[in-house]
Amino acid sequence: MTFALQTIKTTPVTIVVKDDNGFLPGAVVRIVDTNPTTGTTNVLAQLVTDNNGKIQGTFTVATTLANVQAVVHLGSKILSHPISLLPMNGQELTQVNRTLAVTGTFQPQAMLADADGDQIPDDYDAYPNDATRASKICFPITCSESDLITMAYEDLYPLEGDGDLNDYVTWGRSEEDVNAKGKIVKLRTYYQHVAKGTLLVHTFRLRFGAAATGAGLVRKVTGFTNVVTQTNATFSANDLKNGISVYNENSSQTSQSANNTNSITFKPGKKAALELTFNTPVARAEIGHAPYDPYIVLVNTAPLNLNFTETETHLPGKNSSILQILTSGSYPFSIVVPGIWHWQVETLDIRLSVKTGYLEYAAWVDSGGISFRDWYTKVTKTSAVYNNLPATGTLAGFINVIKNKYFILGVLLVLAVSLGVGFALKKRLSATVA
């Protein structure tokens, strides 16, 4: 069973499309979330029906989202089918199974231009001239560089610590390049370390499920001065399963401030961007779903005179053993929340009504995650949470900084050359005149 305490959830989806001739192959089915205010459509999954008229995939969204749509492109017609996501009779939705029968006969693939022949029509192909990639699936929901999640960890498992969930806090987002068969070809994931409310030191790592293949990695890290360092590596399937370093540095080196009390001005830590190119495209079931399994590892407990090391803390539901991330009171040791979340200030236990900034948090846990699903958006005690955060952050922007720098260098070079030529011309002209 899926672990219940989720603010973000993955749902398996199976859709069968039929027309008057029976099962309809070749229809593009997209699972989309349409923003009611902006009208922007975010593609959560995109697949083509097989000879049995069927697509099978998954989509990952915040548990506060009430519905998504299955949009079926039949060639001469587009069908939109609503899917409600909220719990029914106190039970979480665990899967979506639909058969959509349309009147008439359709030949979707014959009707739509498809330059690279990957079965995803040009209009819906994120890479219309690249047959190896068809969709760009972003997390959380949009591909905007400012659409982030916050991941916050307590670091002393199995000791409960102070329960403020601010020992290691990071922002994150990710993008997958997916082929027409729904397999992941490339994966980019971005982080920024934003709080370290502890004397202890950690490494921050990322683990995947049982990938059947290895991957090449390009890692870019930017520090406090916008200098970007790049490292490249290759990993085996086992390496991906055992976890890879997000930074080559520990949490003291990637933070420049604890950012854990309101007397401290916010100073963000280092950003990391990882691009993994799998040796062969991998199925969702192999690597898991975003945010995958990002976790902290305690390097050394010596500052607190504790005699254990190498303790890991994972996000709820992301460890092989569910029990490993729960306290005796069934509270998780970490939390992942959509958006920029204001974490608890130092020593204020998020679970206790007199200390929490989020009164609905405990009620949400007690309900097994069914009720109070938007608890993290409701600050009930401002002084209990860290208030000095910027309203927005961006991840991945720093990669462009490099390009821009080279662009500016390029412009300067062209300018210098033109000036030089102009100067030489001028010299020659004056020479001629003379």
Stretch that binds Ca ion, among 34-42, 117-125, 237-245, 319-327 (CB under 5 A): 117-125
Identify the residue among 47, 120, 290, 384 touching Ca ion (CB under 5 A): 120
Identify the residue among 28, 29, 100, 134 touching Ca ion (CB under 5 A): 134
Least CB distance to Ca ion at residue 179 (A): 8
Least CB distance to Ca ion at residue 189 (A): 22
Query: What's the token pair of residue 309?
Result: 């090391």
Residues 6+ apart with CB under 8 A from 341: 150, 152, 376
Rounded distance, CA 297 to CA 114, Å? 47
Q: Cβ atoms within 10 A of the Cβ of 125, count?
A: 25
Least CB distance to Ca ion at residue 137 (A): 14
Identify the residue among 92, 114, 145, 312 touching Ca ion (CB under 5 A): 114
- Told to check if 177 binds Ca ion by CB under 5 A, we report no
Rounded distance, CA 57 to CA 25, Å? 16
DSSP SS3 for 169: strand
Residues 6+ apart with CB under 8 A from 123: 112, 113
- Told to check if 137 binds Ca ion by CB under 5 A, we report no
- Told to check if 125 binds Ca ion by CB under 5 A, we report yes
Compare residues 120 and 138 and give the one whose CB is closer to Ca ion.
120
Identify the residue among 79, 81, 116, 359 touching Ca ion (CB under 5 A): 116
Compare residues 175 and 312 and give the one whose CB is closer to Ca ion.
175
Least CB distance to Ca ion at residue 181 (A): 12
- Told to check if 239 binds Ca ion by CB under 5 A, we report no
Q: Are 27 and 120 in contact (CB under 8 A)?
A: no
- Told to check if 118 binds Ca ion by CB under 5 A, we report yes
Q: Are 165 and 335 in contact (CB under 8 A)?
A: yes
Minimal CB distance residue for Ca ion? 125
Q: Are 72 and 27 in contact (CB under 8 A)?
A: yes
Instruction: Give the amino acid at 276.
Output: L
Stretch that binds Ca ion, among 44-52, 120-128, 242-250, 341-349 (CB under 5 A): 120-128
Q: Are 53 and 74 in contact (CB under 8 A)?
A: no
| Cα atoms in the Cβ-side hemisphere of radius 13 Å centred on 186 | 15
Stretch that binds Ca ion, among 41-49, 96-104, 110-118, 384-392 (CB under 5 A): 110-118
Rounded distance, CA 407 to CA 417, Å? 15
Residues forming contacts to Ca ion in the complex (CB under 5 A) are: 114, 116, 118, 120, 125, 127, 130, 134
